[in-house]
Amino acid sequence: MILARRSCGVAAVFIALFAVSCTHLCAQAAKTITVRMLESRSGRLISTNDFLVQINHQKEQHANWVTVNEDGTGKLSLPPEATEVSIHGMYDSSMSIYVNCDSEKGKGILENQGLLQTEVPPDHWYSIADILSKGIVTSNGCLKKKDADKQKNADKEKIEAKPGEFVFFVRKRNWREDSEN
């Protein structure tokens, strides 16, 4: 009888340890990134509740993966299988998508061995491992030369990302882009 109780006690301890380790592993598997969306000209934070997130070059968009923090940044929770991410922000009550400034309009893309000029640049995909380990600030290709010179001359604070942060620049669509849709 005493041996049976001892066996049950040992088994209970093993079950408890297993449950704790599984919980710990599940917590590690979740990937959380802080997202900052900045206006391309001013560098000011844009707060929105509407983000479109894609992972691993999939077409499916996830609008519910980002929750907005009090400071206007977003908390992006990604599934464990996510290795790359592409993020867009929306405005006008989720009717319009900001243009990401990480590539310039009309730069062209390679398609079937020929260079094609494109109105809408292709999406850029960013490594989640890089974001988590060192942080990423995307390029700001929306700035015109004179605006870029003004920013440099204004001696503004340099925008940096900490490990776990993704910072990207956007602008609203212009009237030509809106008329194309």
Q: Residue 177, class by beta-carbon neighbours within 10 Å (0-12 exposed, 13-18 middle, 19+ buried)?
A: middle
Report pLDDT for 93: 75
Q: Residue 171, class by beta-carbon neighbours within 10 Å (0-12 exposed, 13-18 middle, 19+ buried)?
A: middle
Report pLDDT for 35: 96
**Binned average pLDDT, 10 residues per bin, the chain of 181 residues:** 51 49 49 94 88 93 91 94 94 83 57 47 87 94 67 60 95 70 52
Report pLDDT for 23: 43
- Judge if pTM exceeds 0.75: no
Report pLDDT for 48: 84
Q: Long-range contacts made by residues 116-125, C-beta under 8 angstroms, separation at least 24?
A: 119/177, 119/180, 123/54, 123/86, 124/86, 124/100, 125/57, 125/84, 125/85, 125/86
3-state secondary structure of 173: coil
Report pLDDT for 96: 86
Report pLDDT for 3: 46
Cα 175 versus chain centre, distance: 27
Report pLDDT for 26: 44
Report pLDDT for 27: 44
Report pLDDT for 119: 53
- Distance, in Å, from the CA atom of 9 to the CA atom of 4, rounded to the nearest integer, reads 9
Backbone CA torsion sign across 88, 162, 126, 174: positive
Report pLDDT for 141: 87
